[in-house]
Amino acid sequence: MPKQQPRPMSGADILVQCLVNHGVDTVFAYPGGASMPIHQALTRFQKQLRTILPRHEQGGGFMAEGYARSTGRVGVCIATSGPGATNFVTCLADAKMDSIPIVAITGQVGTHVIGTDAFQETPIVEVSRPITKHHYLVQRTEDIPRVMKEAFHIATTGRPGPVIVDIPKDLQNRAIIADYDPPMNLPGYNPERRATREQLEKVFELIRQSKRPIFYAGGGVISANAAGLFKAFSEKTGIPVALTVHGLGAFPSKHYLCLQMLGMHGTVYANYAVNEADLLLAFGVRFDDRVTGKVSEFAKHGKIVHIDIDPSEINKIKTAALPICGDVGQALRDMLQMIDEEPARIPPATQYADWMRQIDKWRDEAPLKFASRNDAIVPQCAIQRLYEIVRERGRLSDTIVTTGVGQHQMWSAQYWHFETPRTWFTSGGLGSMGFGLPAALGAQAAHPLKTVIDIDGDGSFLMNIQELATAYTEKLPVKVLLLNNQHLGMVMQWEDRFYESNRAHTYLGAGFEQDPYPDFVTIAKGFKCQGTNISRREDLDGALREMLDSKGPYVLNVLVPYQEHVLPMIPGGMTVKDIIKA
């Protein structure tokens, strides 16, 4: 029989076929006039591709992030032009700062009216240029396969990040015969970097010279899929570990060498150790200001080794004694091999005995702690008990936690102990309120058999509460532990600490302390989700178990006192000497 000739396909069908070819199984897409051809094409690929309809484009973008953070694969979101596209801006900035691989596809007005302020036209590529890793305005239908191939390559290689692809509507409708394997055209993009053996020998030399070393490890370790390698390297060297907020899960929290999170709301002992270390091994981090505080005082007593894939981060904030631009996973793999070849490259275990005794003393003197408030449920206790119940059930590795932004976010980082990577997602660099629920939905779509919990605050939760509709209609049984203090808690904490408790629009209620506003459980039930209110400590464990055992999406609205502060705390721009312990 004669070979069947390829048939012309619309640009929209070609685009969706490209998604399938790149292994995409789920997209988060909200339709509109300029993206209608794409959505029509999605209906023709239903067997290969699940389309989840968010109730707001920002929700869809955060869902794509939750999918990407939980899988390590590209998250894909789609919106129309104009307001649909601009609603992606926060998600793109969030993914850029937190190094998350997403491809955002937007419809655009027809090529013949671009630049005329046509209906729902915005120059989204120009708007997004500073907050994306790369960006495309497609000029020809023939370019779609190449652009998509490049977009996925750029999003996932080197330091991961977001790519936006803007496609005019007429190019979506135009039919051509596509070439699905075109050559890429990225002459200036060389993302793969590897530390040299000479550089790694210098790392070992500094380790052997050190008496008080510490790892400062971040999300780059998880992005490199290097958590296992990092654990092995830390154990072989006997060097303790402090983690960034995105590094949680890169090293087992309950491990003796783990000092938990460092930085503004990190443990006292992690911050003391970093301050007194004579060698700071910074792996997959960017020296964010929430970690460093006053930069000139951060880790000033020690030499710094900085390994990171992104050359722009090397020596950007702190000058390293040994700067290494390279993949942290490959560097760890190479160093472990070098230890196997010659065990004497690392010092004897006794070399750090005095250092670990000092760290143990700090741990004993200043553990994380909170006080009870009669029969009230303090938020730290709610998080701790939820963690303990999940752990007792043997479900820690099968549970994913997301958060919004604020006090509950930091308490979650402090009181939930993450043992494995890709089980904790929060908006770290941008601090985007409204992240928790949609990110949880994206993670749940990727992992239908796992328990996904959004630990949220009433301020953050309300920003994307409409996505409860997505949870119900798409059968995504996300659990929401809502710590409701009727305030913008973190801003209120700063008011208490630095503005004489003057409340400047941080109270979210309606003036009735006995009648919290809004009624989140009624709202949840309006979306056909389950929900319960509790306020007494004696009801907490039973309510947490009921939430975990529920079959569908569930909102547990826990009324908590607003007087609680996240401690320890290093005030912004200050040093470990200024740490507030209680």
Q: How far is residue 403's CA from residue 563's CA, in Å, rounded to a whole number?
A: 20
Q: How far is residue 298's CA from residue 272's CA, in Å, rounded to a whole number?
A: 11
Q: Which of 96, 169, 231, 318 is catalytic?
A: 169
In 75-191 the beta strands, taken as DSSP E runs, fall at 75-79, 102-108, 134-137, 163-168, 175-176
Q: Which of 28, 57, 96, 251 is catalytic?
A: 57
CB-based contacts of 465: which residues, under 8 Å, 6+ apart? 437, 523
* 51 and 27 Cβ atoms separated by less than 8 Å: yes
Active site residue 492: no
SS3 176: strand
Taking the CA atoms of the chain, what radius of gyration do you get in angstroms?
A: 25
Q: How far is residue 84's CA from residue 453's CA, in Å, rounded to a whole number?
A: 28
Q: What is the 3-state secondary structure (H, E, C) of 63-78?
A: HHHHHHHHHCCCEEEE
Q: Which of 36, 40, 45, 120 is catalytic?
A: 120
Residue with tokens 């939430």: 547
Burial letters for 299-314: b for 16+ Cβ neighbours within 10 Å, e otherwise?
beebbbbbbbbbeebb
Q: How far is residue 65's CA from residue 72's CA, in Å, rounded to a whole number?
A: 10
Query: What does each C-alpha distance from 361 to 112, 299, 357, 369, 443 come to in angstroms?
Result: 70, 20, 6, 16, 39
- By CB atoms closer than 10 A (0-12, 13-18, 19+), residue 148 is buried
The letter for the amino acid at 48 is Q
**Residues β-bridged to residue 280:** 214, 304
**CA diameter of the chain:** 85
Active site residue 251: no
Q: How far is residue 490's CA from residue 410's CA, in Å, rounded to a whole number?
A: 10
Query: What share of residues in the chain are helix, strand, coil (percent, to 5)?
Result: 45, 15, 40
Residue among 81, 83, 101 nearest 92 (CA): 101
Active site residue 444: no
User: Does an H or E element contain 460, and which?
Assistant: helix 458-463
Active site residue 119: yes
Q: Which of 261, 490, 492, 569 is catalytic?
A: 490
Q: Which of 119, 184, 205, 528 is catalytic?
A: 119
Burial letters for 202-211: b for 16+ Cβ neighbours within 10 Å, e otherwise?
bbbebbeebe
Residue among 71, 61, 60 nearest 25 (CA): 71
Q: What is the 3-state secondary structure (H, E, C) of 532-559?
A: EEECEHHHHHHHHHHHHHCCCCEEEEEE
Active site residue 205: no
Q: How far is residue 108's CA from residue 79's CA, in Å, rounded to a whole number?
A: 10
Catalytic residues, by residue number, are 57, 119-120, 169, 490
